[in-house]
Amino acid sequence: MSLLNPEFLWFLFPLLFLFKRAEKTPQSIWLLLSLSFLLIALARPVAALKSLEVDEAGSDVIIALDLSYSMQGSDIKPTRLERAKEILKKLVQSNDKDRFGILAYTTNAIVLSPLTRDDELLLHLFEGLDENLIITKGTNVHSALKLAKKMSKSPHLKVVLLTDGGDNLGYEEEAVFAKENKMQVNIMMLATAIGSTLTLNGDLLKDEDGDIVLSSANRAIETISQRSEGMYINSFDSSDLIDVLNDQREEDFKTKSRSERYEEYFYLFIVLALLSFIIAYTSLKNRLKFIILPIALLLGTNLEASLFDAMNHASALNYYEKKEFIKSAEFFEKIDSNQARYNRANAYYKSGEYEKAIFIYQGIKSSDIQFKATLYFNLGCAYTRLKEFEKAQENYLKSLTLQESTAARENLEYILSASAQNHLLTGQQEGKERAEDALQENSIEKQKSEEKEKRESAGSSNMKVDADASSGESKNGQEVEAKAKLNISSSKAKLSSKQYELINQRSVNEKSPW
């Protein structure tokens, strides 16, 4: 059960304050309970019934974020890069139809996030971006366009450049590349004509002649948008970019989205509020007429539901321990909770039903960063088993975007190296030639209890999770077991030191103002 309007519960505190100061009589106690139940009803307690699938279509949009040092100019407050991050946040929050991929570029370009419709993942990524670790002072727009093309197979790809224009005198080559590859490039100019000075270690940045560098808007980049039939936006306003992408939307992909159907329980608390009010102002004889029968019905319904859930959960765990995973999944299906859905997907994974596991993993919604990272990790493992290495790579990247994980990074690196050699093994894993399969074990509650126990016993902030390699066997027929360390010391997604190292490769100086 969850609350759709939990903010109403804050009003319980004034009630408690008034109750402490008021005279304690049976009537005042029942009146307090009545008001409390009304507040809970206003908070709208609900339980998810089932998910409905809705057909949707949208465009692939690659956002290329200029991370060169000049983006720390302050002619746009607070800085150009901070404004870019604000625009990105508003864009992904307002657009639930398109898929967004994020890349960053300076003198070279790297992928920050593959195409996704998960706005929470992208928002965590933007918040964790630390501009203080970026020292590259040059831009290479061509590298960004080449990487954007590799990130999507769309026949009419939308690209958004958030930039101050870079330092090139002309962008004819980039414009030709965009047009030949049918890329529609929109440019959000994040600099003014007046420009801004830049500071480095507290001193103003100067060129090789000792003159102060003035970084201003480079309008030469507009050539790319003109030749590719995109838009050049010079307003610094996210709404203008949102309108442009809405007008350009095409059916690059078709997908099914899930909408949750809820069962409302507010009426139960309204009934309890009325009963409490009746008790406060009626005699014992009249109370029995109004109260006993409704309470019996309410308690009977709730007890029956709780009893069935407990029985199904016990049966599911029993079959899981016996390695009868299909039967375990059938019992988990009868329980309506994220934990049960997660356990059901794990059971299907263990049985080798990877497609079913993927479908269930994708339908689980959660705002918990650690849990979402685990879901993406498990999806990566499932896609690896199906030899869909591109999708596996995307999900490992999403997992790493939310939370650094040794297992996810090693799996990703292994997929990349093994794909290059064209000999990745799945299913029957032998020796060192394997994709480490660290499926997170049985339930969220178990993970949290194990984490707490190990922190108390070892004083560690890392959680070690035992994981069985689904249907993977060594030569002697024994099950392969993998250990995964998940660093949960940070609740906010951050780029790894490796990613910052890639961003800062081939650092060059901006020698003159443009």
| Model pLDDT for residues 83-111, shown as the tens digit of each residue | 999 999 999 888 878 889 999 888 888 88
Which CATH number is 334-426+437-493's, of 1.25.40.10, 3.60.150.10, 1.10.1740.10, 1.10.620.20?
Answer: 1.25.40.10
Q: What is the mean pLDDT of residues 232-261?
A: 77
Lowest-confidence region among 32-41, 138-147, 346-355, 492-501: 492-501
Alpha-carbon gap, residue 284 to 342, rounded angstroms = 49
The residue that leads in pLDDT, 240 or 421, is 240
CATH fourth-level superfamily of 56-255: von Willebrand factor, type A domain (3.40.50.410)
CB atoms within 10 A of CB 141: 26
pLDDT score at 401 = 82
pLDDT score at 40 = 87
Q: Which has the closest alpha carbon to 510: 110, 64, 204, 234?
A: 204
CB crowding 147-174: b at 16 or more within 10 Å, else e: bbbebbebeebbbbbbbbbbbbeebeeb
| Model pLDDT for residues 397-409, shown as the tens digit of each residue | 888 888 888 888 8
Q: What is the mean pLDDT of residues 454-473?
A: 33
Instruction: Count Cβ atoms within 10 A of the Cβ of residue 1 and give its class: 0-12 exposed, 13-18 middle, 19 or more buried.
Output: exposed
pLDDT at 147 over 90: yes
pLDDT at 166 over 90: no
Range of 26-30, 74-78, 116-120, 501-505 with top mean pLDDT: 74-78
Q: What is the mean pLDDT of residues 448-470?
A: 37
pLDDT score at 106 = 85
Beta bridge partners of 64: 103, 161
Q: What is the mean pLDDT of residues 25-39?
A: 83
Alpha-carbon gap, residue 327 to 491, rounded angstroms = 36
Element (H, E) at 419: helix 406-421
The dihedral over CA atoms of 10, 16, 22, 27, expressed in degrees to the nearest 10, equals 100
Q: Would you place residue 56 in the very low, low, confident or very high pLDDT band (cuts 50, 70, 90)?
A: low
Q: Would you place residue 474 in the very low, low, confident or very high pLDDT band (cuts 50, 70, 90)?
A: very low
Q: Would you place residue 221 in the very low, low, confident or very high pLDDT band (cuts 50, 70, 90)?
A: very high
Q: What is the mean pLDDT of residues 12-17?
A: 81
Q: What is the mean pLDDT of residues 422-447?
A: 42
pLDDT at 261 over 70: no
Question: Do residues 147 and 174 touch, judged by C-beta distance below 8 A?
Answer: no
Q: Would you place residue 471 in the very low, low, confident or very high pLDDT band (cuts 50, 70, 90)?
A: very low
pLDDT at 26 over 90: no
| Torsional sign, CA 357, 362, 368, 372 | positive
The residue that leads in pLDDT, 189 or 434, is 189
The residue that leads in pLDDT, 292 or 16, is 16
Q: What is the mean pLDDT of residues 317-339?
A: 86
Q: Would you place residue 411 in the very low, low, confident or very high pLDDT band (cuts 50, 70, 90)?
A: confident
Question: Do residues 28 and 279 touch, judged by C-beta distance below 8 A?
Answer: no
Alpha-carbon gap, residue 29 to 280, rounded angstroms = 8
**Identical fold, 56-255 and 334-426+437-493:** no
CB atoms within 10 A of CB 425: 15
pTM reported for the whole predicted model: 0.56
pLDDT at 12 over 60: yes
Residue type, position 320, single letter: Y
Dump the DSSP string for 111-163.
Answer: EEEEEE--HHHHHHHHHT--GGG-------HHHHHHHHHHH---TTEEEEEEE
pLDDT above 90: percentage of residues in the chain: 20
pLDDT at 422 over 60: no
CA dist 215 → 142, 199, 246 (Å): 20, 11, 32
Lowest-confidence region among 162-171, 207-216, 265-274, 469-478: 469-478
pLDDT at 180 over 60: yes
Question: Do residues 400 and 125 touch, judged by C-beta distance below 8 A?
Answer: no
pLDDT score at 420 = 56
pLDDT score at 167 = 82
Q: Would you place residue 485 in the very low, low, confident or very high pLDDT band (cuts 50, 70, 90)?
A: very low
pLDDT score at 62 = 94
pLDDT at 483 over 70: no
Angle at CA 158, nearest 5°, toward 156 and 159?
Answer: 135
Q: Would you place residue 122 in the very low, low, confident or very high pLDDT band (cuts 50, 70, 90)?
A: confident
Q: Would you place residue 144 in the very low, low, confident or very high pLDDT band (cuts 50, 70, 90)?
A: very high
CB crowding 430-468: b at 16 or more within 10 Å, else e: eeeebbbbbbbebbbeebeeebeebeeeeeeeebebebb
Sequence ranges of the domains in the chain: 2-43+265-321, 56-255, 334-426+437-493
pLDDT score at 154 = 85
pLDDT score at 181 = 93
Largest Cα–Cα separation, the chain:
98
Lowest-confidence region among 229-243, 277-291, 297-311, 333-347: 297-311
